[in-house]
Every structure is written in C-alpha cells, then in structure tokens.
A = this chain, B = another copy of it.
Amino acid sequence: MAYSSSDLRALRRAFHRHPEPAWREFRTTCRLVDELDRFDLDALHVGRDAHATDARMALPDPDDLDPWLERVRETAATPGLVDELAGGYTGAVAVLDRGDGPVVALRVDIDALPITETDADDHEPATEDFRSEHEGYMHACGHDAHVTIGLGVLDAIAESDFEGTFKVFFQPAEEESGGGKSMAESGHLDDVDYLFSVHVGLDHPTGDVVAGMVKPLAMAHLTATFHGESAHAGNAPNDGRNTIQAAADAISSLYGIPRHADGMTRVNVGRIEGGTASNVVAEETRLWGEARGETTELMRYVQSAFEQRVHAAADAHGCTADVELVSESPRADSDPELAAFVADAARDRVDVDRVLDAAEFGASEDATFLMRRVQNDGGLACYSIVGTDHPGDHHTPAFDVDETTLDTAVGTLTDAILDTAREQP
C-alpha cells in the first residue's frame, strides 16, 4: 500500500484529535486496528493477548476506565474489539513474517496526557482544525507521531525485501510507566533479536538524530497514605493523630535522603492532598512521589529510604502509613552496535543535518523494560531520538511537532531495520 507523506500526516492528525490517557487508549487502539487490518499481517495481538495481565502497572480504577470505553463503544466499527480491550487491555502487537532471518522489533507508545490543549492562533492543531476533541486531554508528548511512525515503518518494511520477522509493539500507558512491563512480559518479545524504539523531539530540532539514548533514570512512582485520627483542633488537639504533620515531616526527610557515591539520584513529592477543614486534625493525607536513580540499584536505594522515612514520620505522630509502588521502569542503555545502524541510516539522509552517536537521557522511559528483556536474552536494543521543531515544551499546552519528522523517522528506522536484518551485528 505504501503511505505517502500526506497519508502519514493525516494519520497523525487523526490520532492527535482523539488523545486518550494511559490504559484508556480505547479509541486509539480501535483506529489503529482498523488501519492494521489493511496490512497483510501474519498476526495481530490485541487485548489480553498483547499483555502479561498482572504485569500492568498504574492501572486506573474501573470508574476511570469505563467512561472512556463507553465513549468509543458508541462510535466503534467493531464492537467485538471493544470488548477485548475492556478493563484496560489497550495497545497491539503487529507481526510480519517474511521467512528466515532475524526477529526485529519496533516499539512505539500511544498514550496522551491530561493537559488542556491551547487554542492559540499560532498553534497549528488549532488553526488546522485537528485540536483535541477530548477537552482536558492532549497529545502533548508526540505519541500521536509515534503511533504514526510505527504504522509507517510497518508499511515500509512490508513493501521491502526484508527477510525475517518484524514486529511492532504499540505500547499503551508510557506516561505512567504502566505498559512497558506487561508488553515486555507478554511473550511476544521472547524471540526478538533486535529492538528499536524512538522518540521525537526532546529538545532536538528537526534535522537532528540521536542514535542511541543512554542513562535513562530508573524510576519508581510511589504513593504514601498516612492514616491518623481526627480531633477538634481547638478543643482537644492531643486527641488527634495528625497526618498533615506526619506528611510534612516525611517530605522534609525525603528530600534529605543522602546523595549516593555511585551516581545520580532523584526524589520528589509532586502532589499532596490531606485533611478536610482548618479546624480538624487531619485524619488522612496522601503523597504522590517518585524515586529515581542512575541505575536500577540507585533507584531502589532511594525507594527504600523513601519507605523508611515515611514510616518513621508516621510513627513520630502516632500515625500509620502505607507506601505503594504504582509503577516503575528500570535502567537500560542502547547497545552501540545497534545504534551504529541508526546512525549510518541517518547520515545517509538529506533531511538529517546532525547525527549524535549517543545522548544521556535525564528522565525515565518504560521502553527500558522491553530493552532489558531483549538484552537479557542476548539481543540488542537501541532507543533513538528523531529531532523535531516543537514550539512548546513536551508536556505543555503548546506542544506540537514538525510533521516532516514523520518521513525522517520512518525512513531512518526502516533503513536501519533493513540493514540490521541484512548484517545482523
């Protein structure tokens, strides 16, 4: 079939118009499957078949999932598919089997963010009429481009003389680090020899390609819930067990977790909610926090200290606390042998001005679950960045991508995949 540049652009805009947050990519998955049905695939895994059920993390409550499911049910062409996705089994794994040869895979992520998209005059989605139709949600990190790139590469490989097996993992719930693990453990990755992954932008302009991210931070999202006892703050403050005091002590203590000799660590409490009224000792307070480290071990060091300090702060005030791990992602680095294929492919392109062999990644990414799985089985993995001029920062209302990046990314990755299959590093 072979997508044209304008086909890719149209696809991206279609996905952009209907952003869905983590584990609620029901419409996105339906649209994706509609598109995949046009390919001559050898297999398409959706629903429970695409995941290791219990490895899904940061899964929302049914109350949060169901309204998104109901919305798509009304418009879906294939109600049977919707049922398969129910309960948060979004995403898909598409497989092309082209005879003997290596198993090569591409992983792209598909979820959006709870951000209200700007309608400013200089925001192309607004002026070109493909702004988010799900008010309050937005593709503010470029995953609309990622899913499009996934389709584009699949199309190009299908049209090529590729020999071997090619799989595309359309992964949900990357923003919550929720979906990487369950796809990594789905079984579909077990025979993969070479895994590519891609992100657009990340402060790299159109024309840049970074062939191989290294040093993503391992990360754990944590919640801490303090349980105490309420009391009238005027009459009998001593009858209370004050969870706001306990949480405050915990926060001060958490940010003071010692820096580590072995490398970079991070800790944050990014959200807090507690108590009910100014004159009542707060019975319950919750923190949303995270631990990161330059290695998985360093992340565990922070996570463990986080838990210890939360419990100690609760003790100090006669409260108790629960700490829960919401989701996490390990550290995994790109293999330079595989990254070299991306670099070579990029250097051959006229629309690429600059190729960086590697870049450090100061944030976290749950593609690392898939990368480590492949690497642990003896395979190679590479996570690349294809630069794109983005007017606003990632995760802000004015974020947008330069759509010429779609061609660059599809072309670079396709060439790298073909070369990899031929040369098998």
Which A residues have a C-beta under 8 Å from some C-beta of B?
217, 219, 221-223, 232-240, 242, 244-245, 247-253, 255-256, 258-262, 264-266, 268-282, 285, 288-290, 292, 301, 308-309, 311-313, 315-318, 326, 362-364, 395
Q: Are A275 and B270 in contact (CB under 8 A)?
A: yes
> Quick one: which of B252, B260, B262, B326 contacts A248, CB cutoff 8 A?
B252
Please state if B275 and A288 are interface contacts (CB–CB under 8 Å).
yes
Task: Identify whether the interface residues of A are mostly helix, strand, loop, or mixed.
Answer: mixed
Cα A251 to Cα B312 with chains together (Å): 14
The contact of A258 among B238, B288, B316, B395, by CB within 8 Å, is: B238
Known: A234-B217, A249-B249, A260-B237. A288 touches B277 (CB 8 A): yes
Shortest A252–chain B CB gap in Å is 4
In the bound assembly, the distance between CA atoms of A235 and B365 in angstroms comes to 12
The distance from the CB of A273 to the nearest CB of chain B, in whole angstroms, is 5
Looking at the assembled complex, report how far the CB atom of A57 sits from the nearest CB atom of chain B, in whole angstroms: 13
CA distance A275 to B268 in the complex (A): 11
B272 contacts A276, C-beta separation under 8 Å: no
Closest to A259 in B: B237
Chain B nearest CB from A243 CB (Å) reads 10
User: Contact between B259 and A259 (Cβ–Cβ < 8 Å)?
Assistant: yes
User: Which B residues are in CB contact (< 8 Å) with A235?
Assistant: 261, 362-363
* A244 with B258: CB separation less than 8 A: no
Q: Which residue of B lies closest to A316 (CB)?
A: B312
CA–CA, A262 and B236, complex, Å = 8
A242 to B256, CA, bound (A): 10
